[in-house]
A and B are shown apart, each in its own frame.
Chain A
Amino acid sequence: MVPALWDFDLEIPAGQFLTIVGPSGCGKTTLLAMVGGLVFPRQGEVLLDGRAVTGPPAEVAYMLARDALMPWRTARQNVEFGLEIRGQSRDLRRQKSAEWLDRVGLTAFADSKINELSQGMRQRVAIARTLALEPRCLLMDEPFAALDAQTRMLLQQEFLRLWERVNATVIFVTHDLGEAILLGDRVVLVSHRPGRVVADVAVAIPRPRTTEIELDDPNFRRYHRLLSGQLKTEVRAQLSPAEDE
């Protein structure tokens, strides 16, 4: 039994968009779960604004890989779910869900059942639900992994645009190095299990960014070259643990 993370130390300033890349099973999800107050470190601590996290903090919103939409609710009702749990009044919920559905471009589908929506649309409902909570910290666990390449690019662009207006700290986990560099102010590479920080790079590409930078921006390619070698090493080590020790 190997710990998920070991010798791990990471500090994230407010408002930063941090992306975390690493091989599958390296502890990235555990990291998010700890910040989200769903699991607790046996050794060490998780601090939010200097205070220890003892349960799901109100200022944190967690978005999972699978959209976790409730099939018995409409899109609008799904977006309102988080607000409902947090005890907001019906009118306020209505208003916020309408706002956010509009921002993700789904006003026309607000009252549709979610099984009538495409995968990309469902993910947008999930984004609306997450951002409607107006969190100070966003935890995102490979939210675009299940989408086809074109939809993924569209949603990446949309999400950046939405984030720029919300101004929250984001911890975005992905296995896709390109996505990490595209979205993040800072990319952290986590080793194979037990996870440790092996690279921590500031991405000096100016904002607002578009998905075109993957093709046009020479800096993008530089960062990619810098990190991909190390990422490959970690992925290989994860796949064949015997060799590594």
Chain B
Amino acid sequence: MGTVRVTQATSAARTADLQTFEASIRAEMRTMRRRYEATAWTVRIAALLVVLGGWEFLSATNIIKAFYISDPISVAVSLINVLGQGATWYNLWQTLVAAAISLAVGSILGVAGGVALWRVSVLARAFNPYITLFNALPRPALAPLFIMWFGLGVTAKVFVAVTIVFFLLLVNTMAGLSNVDPDILALANSLGASRLQRFLLVEIPSALPSIVAGLRLGAVYSVLGVVVSEMVASYYGLGQMLVKATNGFQVSMSFAILVLMAAMAVVLDVGAWLLQRHVQQGEESRASLR
């Protein structure tokens, strides 16, 4: 008929004390959170065991020839061996340094280019189709050409990686600068801020999250560019090491090198993530589940 009643009075089990009630709710939420995390960890470890177990199984029973896929133990042994060799560390260092240089050069040029194109908007419009075109090209395809031009040293690798990082930062910088809150701009204008003040105090800080997001991706892509270039041809580097191992049918070592590459990329990514978190001022770190 339509009568509505909202009451606590009819509840069978009733905690009279509000504080006890709140405490029990909080405890319940804590338990749920813990259970959620525990489930995540269980699935995580289970997945790892399934993959490793499956790998070992396929290899041991020769469903896939062990020659081609190796097995977890052999890879682990190979990894330990490889880490004990000086040459490995030299190659790793070469890749890392090339990636770091590419990230630095590509980012600086990318941000500078982004600022320039944003300031002189007619340039942005003019170059837009070229940027789109060049971005569509798979940049690693430039490696053979650059190697022909610059040889087998660091230069070619860095050039390849820079072509990737540059566009990333260019686009992110332009996007960040174009999305400054118009209210804050209006405020700055109303205060009589000079162009430089507006740029340094409003526009750049506003664009920073976007730029840093670009840096984070850039860290990963700089490794990509360098490694691919090394794989084509290079004196030193993990990419070159990988190709040599695979060409020599040393599958265990190949996997071991892949693990090293992944570890290096993770280190760079974590570094970039820390920077991103530092810049993101509480908004992200509260919402983040990491």
Q: Which residues of A contact B (CB under 8 A)?
A: 36-38, 55-58, 61-62, 64, 66-73, 81-82, 84-86, 113, 115-116, 133
With A58-B192, A85-B191, A85-B197 already in contact, the answer to whether A68 and B181 are too (CB < 8 A) is yes
* Assembly CA distance A37 to B191 (angstroms): 10
B interface SS class: helix
Is the pair A85, B193 in contact by a Cβ cutoff of 8 Å? yes
Return the 7 tightest CB-CB contacts between A and B, nearest first: A62-B190, A56-B192, A68-B183, A68-B187, A85-B191, A113-B282, A85-B193
The answer to whether A68 and B283 touch (CB under 8 A), given A84-B201, A85-B197, A85-B201, is: no
A-facing residues in B81-97 (Cβ within 8 Å)? none
- B208, CB-defined interface residue at 8 Å: yes
Partner of B281, one of A55, A58, A72: A72
Q: Which of B192, B193, B197, B202 has the most CB of A within 10 A?
A: B192
CB-defined contacts of A62 to chain B, threshold 8 Å? 187, 190-191
Judge whether B74 is part of the interface by a CB distance below 8 angstroms.
Answer: no
Note all chain A residues with C-beta closer than 8 A to B188: 85
Say whether chain A's binding surface is mostly helix, strand, loop, or mixed: loop
Return A176 CB to nearest CB of chain B, in Å.
21
> Which of B184, B189, B190, B283 makes the CB contact (< 8 A) with A70?
B184
Chain A residues whose CB sits within 8 angstroms of the CB of B282 once the complex forms: 113, 115-116
CB–CB A85/B192 < 8 A: yes
A71-B281, A72-B206 are known contacts. Are A66 and B192 too (CB-CB below 8 A)?
no
Nearest opposing residue in chain B for A115, CB measure: B283
Between-chain CB contacts (< 8 Å), 21 pairs: A38-B186, A38-B190, A56-B189, A56-B192, A58-B192, A62-B187, A64-B190, A70-B184, A70-B202, A70-B205, A71-B281, A72-B205, A72-B206, A81-B191, A84-B201, A85-B192, A85-B201, A86-B191, A113-B283, A115-B282, A133-B191
| Pair B187/A55 contact, Cβ less than 8 Å | no
List the A side residues contacting B186 at CB < 8 Å.
Answer: 38, 64, 68
CA distance A66 to B191 in the complex (A): 16
Question: Could you say which residues of chain A place their CB within 8 Å of the CB of B190?
Answer: 36-38, 56, 61-62, 64
The 8 A CB mask of B240-268 against A (1 = contact, 0 = none) is 00000000000000000000000000000
Which residues in B have their C-beta under 8 angstroms from that of A61? 190
- B206 proximity list for chain A (CB < 8 A): 70, 72
Which residues of chain B in 201-219 are interfacial with respect to chain A, using CB atoms and an 8 Å cutoff? 201-202, 205-206, 208
A64-B183, A68-B184, A70-B202 given as contacts; is B281 within 8 A of A82 (CB)?
A: no
Chain A residue with Cβ nearest B192:
A56
User: Of B187, B197, B202, B208, which is within 8 A of A64 by CB?
Assistant: B187
User: Once the chains bind, are B181 and A82 in contact (CB under 8 Å)?
Assistant: no
